Amino acid sequence: SQTIHQWPATLVQPVGSPLSLECTVEGTSNPNLYWYRQAAGRGLQLLFYSVGIGQISSEVPQNLSASRPQDRQFILSSKKLLLSDSGFYLCAWGEDTEAFFGQGTRLTVV
């Protein structure tokens, strides 16, 4: 069966520091992968999605970037974090009719 791994679970970073969150998927090939963010009091917002290696689509303008160096690896990055980047970040893959989510990373920028 397919599984999705996301780490770390929690992260506290100072403003201006870099960020790298990693997501890997097992048990499937060429998955569609997604990064979502849930800000405080908000729903989940789609940030990026990828339909293949090196293919990234950005949904909203922001301070973050994404990369897909391997088929089952999706990375969310920032060169300099802002306070507004705080939130709960979720990686997901889509198949059939739904999206399957990882456990999420709670990022607090201080």
Write out the residues near other proteins by the rule CB under 8 A.
6, 9, 32-34, 36, 41-46, 49, 51, 90, 92-104, 106
* Strands, E assignment, the chain: 3-7, 10-13, 19-26, 32-38, 44-52, 55-58, 65-70, 73-78, 87-95, 98-101, 105-109
Smallest distance, other proteins to C-beta of residue 107, A = 13
Q: How far is the CB of 6 from other proteins (least distance, A)?
A: 8
Nearer to other proteins, 72 or 93 (CB): 93
Shorter beta-carbon distance to other proteins: residue 43 or 61: 43
Shorter beta-carbon distance to other proteins: residue 49 or 109:
49
Handedness of CA 96, 70, 22, 83 (dihedral sign): negative
Cα(72)–Cα(76) distance, rounded to whole angstroms? 14
Task: Please report how close the Cβ of residue 35 comes to other proteins at its closest, in angstroms.
Answer: 10
Q: Which of 13/99 has CB closer to other proteins?
A: 99
- Minimum CB distance to other proteins, residue 82 (Å): 22
88, 60, 56, 59: which is closest to 74 by C-alpha? Answer: 56
